[in-house]
């Protein structure tokens, strides 16, 4: 079987061997339920969970008790958005977000909009960034929650979190941030940015799928959305997945160790990829290139049909046309930037990762060049 370059690391990443090793004992040796604290095996499992919680908290400079384990960023987003809207509805029922948010944010907000809340979805500028003046003007006396992602999952654009956090803090508004794409890739301290609720995921940082967390600031109390055994301080019922929690903590540690070097290297590779693609002609970057994750590149290709483009590419490259959660539907993110449906369909998201090499970048440029020559005739 021929191996093709995997350049879709924003969709998911391979589990690091060190992470697999960290999880191994908890599958069959230290398998006890961490809530069973009347015997030694249960206490050992509980200790492993709390050690992992402390390690994850250290990476974010927060207190361990602020970390609530979930099944991933989607669940964390739902807990944050629905939970805070429910717990603060006596203060107001206005919610604010951006048009470029992940569906795991937009859909819970739209659900609430169908149940008595009022939702404002702000447009972004052509570079994908929010206008802070327009954002400030959209805040109201009855705004109880703002949800803005740190780094976009399609175009990698980094929103001005400090500015957003300051505006929310001054008005006593809860600020939720989907951090699935930024965590492990850029240094981020939620408390320093005024973020009250921060969602993260394990499988975006070379950890296991099925695990994530919601970091909750002191004084912010979302209403539980999953009821059961009262785990996670009563915020999330259900037996804790000890192997996955251990894997998440190890992945976070590894990401912290090589973050700076990794981003410098991937930035150089991304620039090499962009230069090669631009040389082909009719290639434009979607979103701000300056305010962007180092491992992301999203480009639109002129003069080609999007369906034919991706059908030809998939035989030679593992790349994406947008979010892995979009099920092939047109990108609402690229539409928010002003692209037509045809332009959005003829766009490619490249997500570089730890394993990406110069040879793979060169191969990607060669593949795109050949496909463009074929499709442009």
Do residues 161 and 195 lie in contact, with contact meaning Cβ atoms separated by under 8 Å? yes
Helix then strand then coil, % of the chain, to nearest 5: 40, 15, 45
Nearest-5° angle of CA 220, CA 70, CA 240?
A: 120
Say whether 168 is catalytic: no
Q: In what order do the strands lie in the sheet with 296-301?
A: 283-285, 296-301, 347-351
Sheet of strand 174-178, all strands in order from the earlier edge strand to the far edge: 67-70, 212-216, 197-201, 174-178, 143-147, 94-98, 118-122
Distance CA 161, CA 138 (A): 16
DSSP per-residue codes, 330-365: PPHHHHHTT--HHHHHTEEEEE--TT--HHHHHHHH
The whole-angstrom distance between residue 13's C-alpha and the CA centroid of its chain comes to 12
Three-class secondary structure of residue 302 per DSSP:
coil
Q: Name the strand (E) or helix (H) holding 81.
A: helix 73-87
Active site residue ranges: 325
């Amino acid at each position: 079987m021929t191996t093709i370059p995997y350049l879709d690391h924003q969709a998911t990443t391979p589990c690091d061997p060190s992470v697999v090793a960290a999880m191994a004992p908890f599958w069959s040796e230290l398998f006890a339920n961490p809530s069973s604290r009347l015997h030694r095996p249960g206490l050992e499992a509980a200790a492993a969970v709390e050690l992992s919680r402390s390690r994850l908290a250290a990476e974010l400079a927060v207190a361990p008790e602020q970390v609530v384990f979930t099944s991933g960023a989607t669940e964390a987003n739902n807990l944050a958005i629905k939970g805070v809207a429910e717990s603060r509805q006596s203060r107001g029922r206005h919610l604010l977000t951006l048009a470029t948010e992940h569906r795991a944010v937009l859909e819970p907000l739209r659900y609430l909009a169908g149940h008595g809340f009022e939702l404002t979805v702000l447009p972004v500028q052509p570079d994908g960034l929010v206008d802070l003046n327009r954002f400030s003007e959209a805040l109201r006396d009855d705004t109880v929650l703002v949800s803005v992602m740190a780094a976009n999952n399609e175009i990698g654009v980094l929103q001005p979190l400090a500015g957003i956090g300051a505006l929310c803090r001054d008005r006593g508004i809860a600020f939720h941030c989907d951090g699935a794409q930024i965590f492990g890739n850029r240094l981020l301290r939620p408390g320093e940015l005024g973020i009250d609720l921060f969602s993260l995921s394990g499988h975006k940082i070379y950890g296991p799928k099925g695990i994530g967390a919601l970091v909750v600031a002191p004084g912010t109390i979302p209403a539980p959305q999953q009821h059961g055994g009262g785990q996670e301080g009563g915020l999330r019922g259900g037996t804790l997945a000890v192997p996955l929690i251990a894997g998440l903590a190890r992945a976070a540690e590894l990401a912290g160790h090589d973050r700076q070097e990794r981003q410098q290297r991937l930035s150089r590779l991304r620039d090499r990829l962009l230069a090669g693609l631009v040389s082909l002609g009719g290639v434009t970057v979607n979103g701000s290139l300056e305010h962007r994750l180092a491992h992301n590149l999203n480009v639109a290709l002129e003069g080609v049909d999007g369906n034919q483009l991706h059908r030809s590419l998939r035989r030679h490259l593992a790349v994406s046309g947008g979010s892995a959660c979009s099920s092939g539907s047109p990108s609402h993110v690229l539409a928010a930037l002003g692209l037509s449906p045809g332009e959005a369909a003829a766009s490619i998201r490249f997500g570089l990762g730890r394993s990406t090499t110069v040879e793979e970048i060169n191969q990607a440029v060669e593949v795109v060049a050949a496909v463009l020559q074929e499709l442009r005739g």
